[in-house]
Structure 1
């Protein structure tokens, strides 16, 4: 059984790096947009996408939903579901977060302004999952097992082509547990020491996961250098970092993408929540469109074989 067949054909893509701020959320939200809209030129197959946000920064949630500010707090609450009055479920409070999945609570995905994208937002602080078990190692396997069961629900494969998980950074049991249930992973990295040093460690973790998944290995789509200066502006430090990543005798070379994402303001989401493509500002910059086309083609080809 291949990874693509684990969940009745449903794909689960984890965007992950152990370090924060390297582009993990950027990849998750942008790939969701690209897949749902058929790529930068809109001519590709439009995929049905569910985004699960588990990052405490809640940026993937805020990219697509109008989250509710909590007075005196630095976190946001999930909004009241727009279909709250239409959904007849006495056990449901009218709001959902991705963490509810782990507690077998009623879960209703949120629609967004994009027809092909739905979201389960982050609750900001996922520490309540520690109540599942007091032992860290058991918590990892508990989360992996629970998420595998949830991804296997037949209705999910009927409703979605892919679930994109915005993993929390760090080596927490939550991030490890979520990664263990994914079918695919994409890894962003900046050209600086802490970021590139974490890539081989993450690849080692994937190897350990695959020791128990010989029939359906977790597949690496690629390692994507992000926030790279244009070639004419690369510093010596940048060149050293990139040469380490692409060293043919090193542990990461086989996974490196053949393109970089450069540091341009056109990649910033111009408004939150995003309600139309104009808010994904890169669609107006031909350099960025070229890079987004390569990113889109990488994901499409690696997961669906370009179909």
Structure 2
């Protein structure tokens, strides 16, 4: 699909952009430049990957965005904030008999640095989680400033990283509120499917409430379309509706559906290492570059 010169009148903000082939979001395809190397590291900008619907690509995006940012010289800490521990498993780090985020939330006996584990990807570290985290909501109910528990933990390690990614559980409970309270920005992975679209308004409402009551600095960094299949009319229509509703908040990068993602998960390796030349790996590198371009990441 191409644009004619007359169409440029209908695309505000695109002056000087080569109007060639359009991407899935209906905007001209753009390649973001590789970010420059950093001369110093920290303090980290904290980004929560959040969606109350499960299976939309939060963990996959946390792992692969973290790995892509690490490729560009950023120091990344991934926080597994889901009792299922999928991020920990996807990065191949042990969770049993290890200090986890649960221990850090409910006790000051451990320093957060004790829980940090290196991954096979240089520059990408992780604080793991396991099923114990499911009990955290019960224990936090009676805690003073319970919404600030994660922020307290992250303040102690923020100076050592450029970005901290929080992989949230599929819920809008106290753990997700903790993640939003501790974050500077929110990235919403959104499966290109109707039921995933329905829940976005509720999530945006929750983000607004956290901003008003707990974290005035919280920003929506973007909505990331995932599991996109250009061959289906349904995927194209859902993405079109999201762009109509949220405009520029929808990232230009779109993650397409591919069997390489589950294959990489089984191998406990980010897609950027499992299949470095695959289009899926390039998509997450493009996402990393776009977030740097938008100022969401240093």
Give the TM-score category using the shorter length: 0.7 to 0.9
User: Which residue of structure 2 lines up, in the alignment, with residue 85 of structure 1?
Assistant: none
Cα deviation, 1:138-194, whole Å, max 9, x if unaligned, reads x7x8343122222222xx233212211110111222112222221111111112222
Distance 1:270 1:21, change over 3 A: closer
Match of 1:132 in 2: 139
What do residues 93-120 of structure 1 show as CA deviations (whole Å, max 9, x unaligned)?
xx21111121124141112222311111
Partners of 2:271 and 2:247 lie apart in 1 by: 37
| Post-superposition offset of 1:21 | 0.2
**Displacement after TM superposition at 1:196 (Å):** 0.6
Structure 1 residues 125 and 11: alpha-carbon distance in aligned structure 2, compared to 1, 3 A threshold: same
Asked if residue 259 in structure 1 is aligned to residue 293 in structure 2, the reply is no
CA contact (8 A) 1:66 1:79 kept: no
Residue 21 (structure 2) aligns with: none
The alpha-carbon deviation at position 227 of structure 1 amounts to 0.6
Which residue in the other structure is 2:243 paired with? 246
1:224 counterpart = 2:216: no
What is the alpha-carbon distance in structure 1 between the residues aligned to residue 128 and residue 272 of structure 2?
21
What residue is the counterpart of 1:234 in the other structure?
232
In the alignment, the residues of structure 2 paired with residue 131 and residue 262 of structure 1 have an alpha-carbon distance, to the nearest angstrom, of: 38
* Worse overlay, 47-56 or 259-268: 259-268
- Would you say how many aligned residue pairs link Structure 1 and Structure 2? 252
Distance, in Å, in 2 between the alignment partners of 1:277 and 1:294 is 12
CA displacement at 1:228 relative to structure 2? 0.8
Counterpart secondary structure, 2:131: coil
Shift of 1:20: 0.5
Q: How many Å separate the matches in 2 of 1:18 and 1:128?
A: 18
Q: For residues 6-85 of structure 1, what are the structure 2 equivalents within 5 Å?
A: 9-38=43-72, 46-67=73-94, 78-79=95-96
Structure 1 vs Structure 2 CA RMSD? 2.5
Matches within 5 A, 1:1-307: 9-38=43-72, 46-67=73-94, 78-79=95-96, 95-104=98-107, 105-106=109-110, 107=112, 108=114, 109-134=116-141, 142-153=145-156, 156-212=157-213, 216-230=216-230, 233-235=231-233, 237-247=234-244, 250=245, 252-268=246-262, 269=264, 271-274=266-269, 278-279=273-274, 281=275, 283-285=276-278, 287-303=279-295
- Once the 2 structures are TM-superposed, how far is the Cα of residue 289 of structure 1 from its aligned partner? 4.5
* Cα distance in 2 between the residues matched to 1:290 and 1:163: 21
Contact 1:66 1:272 in 2 (8 A): no
Q: Which moved more, 1:29-38 or 1:252-261?
A: 252-261
Which 5+ residue runs of structure 2 have no aligned equivalent? 1-41
Tell me, which stretches of 5 or more residues in structure 1 are unaligned? 1-7, 39-45, 68-77, 81-94
**Distance in 2, Cα, partners of 1:133 & 1:150:** 14
- SS of aligned partner of 1:126: helix
Runs ≥4 in structure 1, deviation > 4 angstroms?
none
d(CA) in 1 for partners of 2:265 and 2:140? Answer: 41
SS at match of 1:129: helix
Assess if the C-alpha contact under 8 Å between 2:64 and 2:272 holds in 1.
no
TM-score (norm 1): 0.74
Instruction: Summarize the Cα distance change of 1:275–1:34 in structure 2 as closer, same or farther, 3 Å threshold.
Output: closer
